[in-house]
């Protein structure tokens, strides 16, 4: 067991399913105290019961990242109740499966608000309360789509690129003040992300992508995130051969990459 997490508060957004739920399970197994945050507090309480979380070692707080102008209230309330956390894992988010020309402005706003503005505002509103008081490690779940633009994911990819820019700047500005940032780039992970992804009109697809279904196990993804944080890695790519090959091509053979990405099946 890594003692990095022992008796320390770890805040996890989007804790009600997928990677977030597995992070709760594995961080708790490493003796962390967990703040579970999402819109679905009933689901969070059920997860706490299911995982056997003990009173005093976990807390549940409602957090609607899409309504980002109220996120600072969550930050102030949680800091007052639980103190400054050792780790904040920005995991909450929503994906997309629609062509740009078919995607409404409202859908783009929902994705950007949830994936980018919510995480950015939570972090920004915490800074006055934590800088110079205690080191805080932010683990930010971007995506391989935050490095590669792929069809059907224009707003999603934009939101994940935005996270990278924001937290790279924060790292440059405040690492000397105790703010450490780990950028996480998952590829295809076995979660319900594609089922919950938004179509152009804002409705959910309800469908599992074959590449997601055959992706890496969520248990492996969560393990590697927690390992990267404990070992102070600034970046970690958690992906299969296909996604890593795409990253390689984009970096070293971009002309070939762009020809290949245009051939991705969109329907």
Residues catalogued as catalytic: 156
Residues 252, 217, 241, CA angle at the centre, nearest 5°? 20
Q: Which of 206, 205, 133, 220 is nearest to 174 (CA)?
A: 133
Helix, strand, coil percent content, the chain, rounded in steps of 5: 50, 15, 30
Instruction: Specify whether the CB–CB gap between 120 and 72 falls below 8 A.
Output: no
CA distance linking residue 190 with residue 210, whole number of Å? 10
Residues with Cβ within 8 Å of residue 108, at least 6 apart in sequence: 154, 155
Dig out the tokens for 3 from the structure. Answer: 């003692």
């Amino acid at each position: 067991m890594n003692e990095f997490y022992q008796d320390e508060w770890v805040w996890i957004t989007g804790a009600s399913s997928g990677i977030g739920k597995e992070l709760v399970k594995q961080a708790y197994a490493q003796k962390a105290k967990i703040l579970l945050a999402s819109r679905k507090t009933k689901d969070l309480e059920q997860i706490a019961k299911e995982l056997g979380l003990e009173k005093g070692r976990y807390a549940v707080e409602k957090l609607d990242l899409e309504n980002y102008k109220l996120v600072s209230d969550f930050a102030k309330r949680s800091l007052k109740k639980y103190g400054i956390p050792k780790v904040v894992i920005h995991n909450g988010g929503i994906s997309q499966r629609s062509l740009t020309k078919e995607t409404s402005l409202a859908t783009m706003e929902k994705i950007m608000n949830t994936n980018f503005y919510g995480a950015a505002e939570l972090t920004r509103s915490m800074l006055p309360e934590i800088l110079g008081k205690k080191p805080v490690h932010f683990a930010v779940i971007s995506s391989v789509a935050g490095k590669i633009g792929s069809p059907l994911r224009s707003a999603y990819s934009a939101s994940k690129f935005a996270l990278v820019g924001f937290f790279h700047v924060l790292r440059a500005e405040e690492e000397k003040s105790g703010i450490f940032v780990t950028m996480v780039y998952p590829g295809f992970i076995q979660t319900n992300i594609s089922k919950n992804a938004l179509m152009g009109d804002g409705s959910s697809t309800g469908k599992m992508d074959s590449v997601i279904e055959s992706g890496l196990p969520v248990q492996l993804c969560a393990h590697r995130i927690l390992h990267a944080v404990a070992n102070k890695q600034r970046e970690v790519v958690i992906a299969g051969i296909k996604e890593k090959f795409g990253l390689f091509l984009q970096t070293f053979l971009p002309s070939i990459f762009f020809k290949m990405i245009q051939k991705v099946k969109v329907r």
